[in-house]
Structure 1
Amino acid sequence: MQHHQQSEWLTVADYQLHLRQLTPVQPDSAYPVLMLHGAIENSRIFYNEKGRGLGCFLADHGFYVTCADFAGRGLSQPKASRDFNHSQQQLICQDIPSLIQHLQQQYQLPVVVIAHSWAGVVLAASLARFPHLLPKVKAIITFGSKRVIRVGGFKKRLHIDLVWNRLSPLLCRLYGYLPAKQWRFGADNEPAQYLLDTIGWIRGHAFTDPTDGFDYAAACAKLSWPVSWHFAAINDQLLGHPLDVQAFLTETGLNKGRYTLLGKAQGHHQDYDHISMLTHPCACKDHFNEVMLWLKQIEPQY
């Protein structure tokens, strides 16, 4: 590895967010990178101690990288439980602004934000709700981010309509949180309110806040977004179907950014899916390298 790893914790309200700091041995990047994970997972989608993952790849190429665990997930404290709940609105209104401002103040530079899956949705909502954050964001990169799941079929009926929309709320009432890890349909557990807040948006309800009605769609229409690049995977047929990703980009105005479909027919080494786009060894030769070169082009060199 050409980077060092250490953990720190950022206090927000009455909880602490775990930040995994990946520090390059030879810095070669002006702008720090913040990585945000999706639902029923944590920041380890971007890194591990053996140096794998997009976060490690960028750190090895000179970027200061921070992989954040959302409240209740990963090594953040406390864990999701009956005694610790956390809503989607808290993530949008407290956590994401705190993370962006923390890194901007730490490095005195705007931040590159990379989001996987649902994190792209809450990131867009947070920036739309707090446009004063936009000057603190240099670029946005999303992987498999969609808001509404419109794709049909058996997998959608099983994993979304049955497990996510019906079974998961029942589990939340039983356990006080969503035990996705114990039930083996996710890499991490979720606070109950966060799960409940996602259901309406996934079903296609208006892009408004389920807590206070804030109109994110209208707010997005007024924004001038930073430069952005958005990835979908050819074998991602449910959680980030390419058509659903494109619909989300159109809805938010992020479709003015760059869009790439990851698959062999598009010249890549693999037909990637929702997870393998960030975990497959071939990703380093494919889009990881392309992302690294693109980020270096939009920033001054040392």
Structure 2
Amino acid sequence: MTKLQLVTQQSLFVPTLDGAQLHLRRIHPAEPGSAVLMVHGAVANARTFYSDKGKGLGPWLAQRGYDVYVLDLRGRGLSTPKIARGAAHGQTESICEDIPAALLEIQRLRGEQVPLYLVAHSWGGVLLSAALARKPEWARRVRANVYLGSKRSIRVWNWHRLYEIEIFWQRLASLLAKRKGYLPAAELGMGADDETLKSLRQSQQWVKAADWQDSDDGFDYVAALQATALPPTLYLVGGKDPVRGHERDVRRFAAESGRHAHAFGLLSRQAGLSRDYGHIDMLTHPQAEQEVYPQVLDWLTRHTN
């Protein structure tokens, strides 16, 4: 049995080109090992992966020796300024600026030789793969990825899609965002954090579109990933995730991400677990520490060399 290590949490702040500050929560033991960057999804923030009391996948991995960095994308969580009317950034800035800035900060702190891994929840996996498509030098440096409930587009049809995607995300969210100047998801209780008009619009396009292209400059992510192999990637799928991370949509995301070593893990009773995990509780349910987190650790360990 692995001896658990005491860990420390600290907040780091990384400046962006336009003067914003990105929050990186570093969680690490006294002698930190391999580095892990974690990226949250839409209407969320870094708290997806950690709490001040040491709960969550971030502290869990740090107790087992990893040097964990959890990113608050621009305007979310403890990153400043907070999203408000007039905020002009969107997915393109997350992909081209925020994620590379976090990776460079890890490299500054730990050097170029430290083993590096990426972990994401939901839409965070799409942003990470897009960032690696743009910056293939990072794809070559990263040893492995783990994506939990990550899909790029939604093709599955059911009542959950009709309500959550077609009615709410594609229509009602747009009306609310135009009235407010941004999507006040936290205020409305529809997520932990807010979205800018641009990030909402771009995510709406990607969820619906067959093509995976950037609305700012037309960058073709599918074409780029055909030429840039992603690191070995584990795609974890909730057994009770009917639309935000349905297995068919997750598998299509993997397929359009180019040829790369990958595997799928079903978080369900069918796979021998105690429950069918949903889109959020695959990270937050108490049983996740015994049934989900070890699968993440196993994948990282398997790709140590």
Q: TM-score, normalised by structure 2?
A: 0.93
**Counterpart in the other structure of 1:33:** 36
Query: Does 1:55 pair with 2:58?
Result: yes
Go from structure 1 to structure 2 and tell me whether the alpha carbon gap of 1:219 and 1:162 turns closer, same or farther (over 3 Å shift). same
Asked if the contact 2:90/2:199 (under 8 Å) is kept, the reply is yes
Q: Which runs of 4+ in 1 moved over 6 A?
A: none
Equivalent of residue 175 in structure 2, options 170, 174, 183:
170
How far has the Cα of 1:299 moved from its partner?
Answer: 2.3
Equivalent of residue 83 in structure 2, options 74, 80, 93:
80
Go from structure 1 to structure 2 and tell me whether the alpha carbon gap of 1:110 and 1:142 turns closer, same or farther (over 3 Å shift). same
**Counterpart in the other structure of 1:2:** 6
Distance in 2, matches of 1:284 and 1:161, equals: 34
Query: Does 1:221 pair with 2:221?
Result: no
How far has the Cα of 1:136 moved from its partner?
Answer: 2.8
**Counterpart in the other structure of 2:98:** 95
How far has the Cα of 1:256 moved from its partner?
Answer: 2.9
- Give ranges in structure 2 of 5+ residues lacking alignment: none
How far has the Cα of 1:104 moved from its partner?
Answer: 2.1
**Counterpart in the other structure of 2:256:** 251
Distance in 1, matches of 2:20 and 2:115, equals: 25
**Counterpart in the other structure of 1:208:** 213
How far has the Cα of 1:25 moved from its partner?
Answer: 4.0
Letter in 2 for 1:22: I
State the Cα deviation string for residues 121-158 of structure 1 (Å, max 9, x = none): 11111111221222331211101110111111222111
Equivalent of residue 118 in structure 1, options 123, 136, 139:
123
Asked if the contact 1:87/1:193 (under 8 Å) is kept, the reply is yes
Report the RMSD for the aligned CA atoms in angstroms: 1.5
**Counterpart in the other structure of 2:247:** 242
Letter in 2 for 1:80: I
Letter in 2 for 1:57: W
Counterpart mapping for 1:256-267 below 5 A: 256-267=261-272
**Counterpart in the other structure of 2:152:** 147
Asked if the contact 2:232/2:260 (under 8 Å) is kept, the reply is no
Letter in 1 for 2:105: H
Asked if the contact 1:78/1:84 (under 8 Å) is kept, the reply is no
Query: Does 1:157 pair with 2:157?
Result: no
Distance in 2, matches of 1:2 and 1:40, equals: 31
Asked if the contact 2:222/2:258 (under 8 Å) is kept, the reply is no
Go from structure 1 to structure 2 and tell me whether the alpha carbon gap of 1:250 and 1:279 turns closer, same or farther (over 3 Å shift). same
Which is worse superposed, 98-107 or 213-222?
A: 98-107
**Counterpart in the other structure of 2:72:** 69
How far has the Cα of 1:250 moved from its partner?
Answer: 0.5
Which is worse superposed, 34-43 or 256-265?
A: 256-265
Distance in 2, matches of 1:254 and 1:119, equals: 20
Residue 287 of structure 2 aligns to a residue whose secondary structure is helix
State the Cα deviation string for residues 240-278 of structure 1 (Å, max 9, x = none): 001100010001126631211111110112210100111
Distance in 2, matches of 1:287 and 1:216, equals: 29
Asked if the contact 2:229/2:259 (under 8 Å) is kept, the reply is no
Which is worse superposed, 269-278 or 219-228?
A: 219-228
State the Cα deviation string for residues 51-79 of structure 1 (Å, max 9, x = none): 11110100111111011100011010000
State the Cα deviation string for residues 173-216 of structure 1 (Å, max 9, x = none): 11111001111111111111111111111012410111111111
Query: Does 1:11 pair with 2:3?
Result: no
Distance in 2, matches of 1:119 and 1:214, equals: 18
* Identity %, equivalent residues: 40
Go from structure 1 to structure 2 and tell me whether the alpha carbon gap of 1:297 and 1:153 turns closer, same or farther (over 3 Å shift). closer
- Give ranges in structure 1 of 5+ residues lacking alignment: none
Distance in 1, matches of 2:260 and 2:291, equals: 22
